[in-house]
Amino acid sequence: MLPFPRTTLTDLRRKLLDHELSSAELVQQYAQRMQQVNPALKAFISWDTERALLSARQADLSLPLGGLPIAVKDNICCLGEPARCASRMLENFVAPYDATAIAKLRIAGAIPFGRTNMDEFAMGSTGENSAFGPTLNPIDENCVPGGSSSGSAAAVAAGIIPAALGSDTGGSVRQPASHCGVVGLKPTYGRISRYGLVAFASSLDQIGTITTCVQDAALLLQALCGYDPLDSTSSKQPVPDFSAELSRGVQGMRIGLPKEYVSSGNAPEVQTALYSAAKALESQGADICEISLPHTEAAVASYYIIACAEASSNLARYDGVRYGYRVEHSPDNTGDIYARSRTLGFGDEVKRRIILGTYVLSGGYYEAYYARAQRVRALVARDFNQAFSSRIQLILGPVAPTPAPKLQAQDMTPLQVYLADIYTVPANLAGLPAISVPVPQASLPIGVQLLAPHYEEARMLRGAEVLEKTLA
Ligand code: GLN
């Protein structure tokens, strides 16, 4: 499809400052694009052009993101706009406040514009679990765009918005970015406030960015980071000037390539992309070293137990009484309201996870599953600590074992879909920052991933920019 050329935030900003066009014209232009391609693409599930135009007319262009429209995943609250998490359960919910990330975007001058489609409650890897129907991959409409931030990645890839926010609990920013050929960044856990991000698995959830280039990722990240007293897990670490750190290259950097990530289970084009990335980094003076992350194989099991356990608790609030969709007929008793509202309000994948999560937390099974998964999580984190304390500065790996699967790949069981998260969930379990960068190729897009120690996003961005420039 690829109907429109992609434009970077940096270029758009220059055009606005040069008065080549106004912010309102820019919003109009993107609104028109949405109207044209969204009925087929389904990257957005709602947008409010009037509201965006109002902000555009008041935009302060001197601010870092002054007058630039940014799309927002449907699980991040924007005051006065729907935040439905692509679920029937929240079909009538209108956010009564701004998430801190959105407030920060506004402070930086940006215009939140459009709610992007997603897997329901961010549970999924294809975008197909949306109550609004699946988003298509703009590079090949027979394929999924990845998920759960499916709409954010597809919209940026199709040029119908210059950048978007997503959320990454187990890879949902990086994996769709990889499948759509754009840049997806998940910062260190705690870097961006989760206040106003609808909770899926609170110990893993982070807001992240989807952009067309690494420089834009740095620009957007800058606006979003910083301590927030409204999120008890928000970090007080100082926030460096990410853009200023770019262009410093990777000369002399030791970059680890985990042997567990170079696996025969990867599609050949994924292996090729990984080797080209390693070569590109090496050509710019990095030292690529083989390392081992021995608990990689157990990461997916640990992730799905922990994520489902936390989801079952977080989603208990949607009972049709306190929150969420409520059945119309007056049921016999309160239990009936809960049961019928949840049965109709949630889709299959969400129900599967609530059941799994409730099971692993129940008396008698807690030790065997949940407590054990937490111990595995600690081991996964220890693998990374050991690698980074042996003078490894970044880790290179694939994002997903295959390129984007076909839509409705019915031969895939839920377990097979879960297993494809093997390279993305470790960063969430360990709370590490990670970025997915496209490796240009003739066929479907493939991204590679760089992981950095906690709070070393600046270093990670340097590596990512080298990849982007050298591979171009
Ligand atoms: N694919 C993973 C899952 O389904 C990741 C989801 C996410 O990061 N939100 O849980």
From 87, 130, 148, 150, the catalytic residue: 148
Are 228 and 353 contained in the same domain? no
- For 103-141, b where at least 16 C-beta lie within 10 A, e where not — what string? bbbbebbbbbbbbbbbbbbbbbbbbbbbbbebbbbbbbe
Does the residue 184 lie in any domain?
A: yes
Are 230 and 320 contained in the same domain? no
Predicted local confidence at residue 74, as pLDDT: 98
CB of 290 closer than 8 Å to CB of 310: no
Predicted local confidence at residue 412, as pLDDT: 81
Are 232 and 98 contained in the same domain? yes
Ligand 1 mutation target, pool 118, 172, 203, 305, most atoms within 8 A of CB: 172
Dist. CA 437–CA 144, nearest whole Å: 18
Are 230 and 311 contained in the same domain? no
176 Cβ below 6 A of ligand 1 = no
Q: Report the atom number in ligand 1 closest to the C-alpha of 123.
A: 4
Does the residue 2 lie in any domain?
A: no
Does the residue 269 lie in any domain?
A: no
CB of 147 closer than 8 Å to CB of 134: no
Are 238 and 301 contained in the same domain? no
Are 75 and 135 contained in the same domain? yes
Predicted local confidence at residue 352, as pLDDT: 97
User: Is position 172 annotated as part of the catalytic site?
Assistant: yes
Predicted local confidence at residue 1, as pLDDT: 63
Does the residue 390 lie in any domain?
A: no
Q: Report the atom number in ligand 1 closest to the C-alpha of 169.
A: 8
From 42, 55, 73, 243, the catalytic residue: 73
By residue range, what is the domain housing residue 220?
Answer: 9-247+433-471
- Looking at ligand 1, which residue's alpha carbon is closest to its atom 10? 123
- Looking at ligand 1, which residue's alpha carbon is closest to its atom 2? 170
Type of residue numbered 148 = S
Distance from the CA of 248 to the center of ligand 1, in angstroms?
Answer: 33
Are 437 and 309 contained in the same domain? no
Distance from the CA of 449 to the center of ligand 1, in angstroms?
Answer: 16
74 Cβ below 6 A of ligand 1 = no
Are 237 and 319 contained in the same domain? no
From 87, 130, 167, 172, the catalytic residue: 172
Predicted local confidence at residue 2, as pLDDT: 64
Predicted local confidence at residue 226, as pLDDT: 97
421 Cβ below 6 A of ligand 1 = yes
Question: Which residue, of 348, 373, 398, is where some domain finishes?
Answer: 373
Please state, in angstroms and as integers, the Cα–Cα distance from residue 80 to each residue in 94, 97, 145, 195, 220, following that order: 6, 7, 28, 16, 23
Tell me how many domains the chain contains.
2
Does the residue 393 lie in any domain?
A: no
At 155, which CATH number?
3.90.1300.10
Asked if the peptide bond before residue 125 counts as cis, ω within 30 degrees of 0, the response is: no
User: Is position 259 annotated as part of the catalytic site?
Assistant: no
Question: Which residue, of 356, 373, 390, is where some domain finishes?
Answer: 373
Ligand 1 mutation target, pool 119, 310, 356, most atoms within 8 A of CB: 119
- Looking at ligand 1, which residue's alpha carbon is closest to its atom 4? 124
Are 37 and 168 contained in the same domain? yes
172 Cβ below 6 A of ligand 1 = yes
Does the residue 415 lie in any domain?
A: no
User: Is position 148 annotated as part of the catalytic site?
Assistant: yes
Are 30 and 129 contained in the same domain? yes
422 Cβ below 6 A of ligand 1 = no
Are 115 and 172 contained in the same domain? yes
CB of 286 closer than 8 Å to CB of 422: no
Does the residue 21 lie in any domain?
A: yes
Question: Which residue, of 344, 373, 402, is where some domain finishes?
Answer: 373
Are 232 and 146 contained in the same domain? yes
Distance from the CA of 124 to the center of ligand 1, in angstroms?
Answer: 5
> Which residues of the chain fall short of a pLDDT of 50?
none
CB of 166 closer than 8 Å to CB of 184: yes
398 Cβ below 6 A of ligand 1 = no
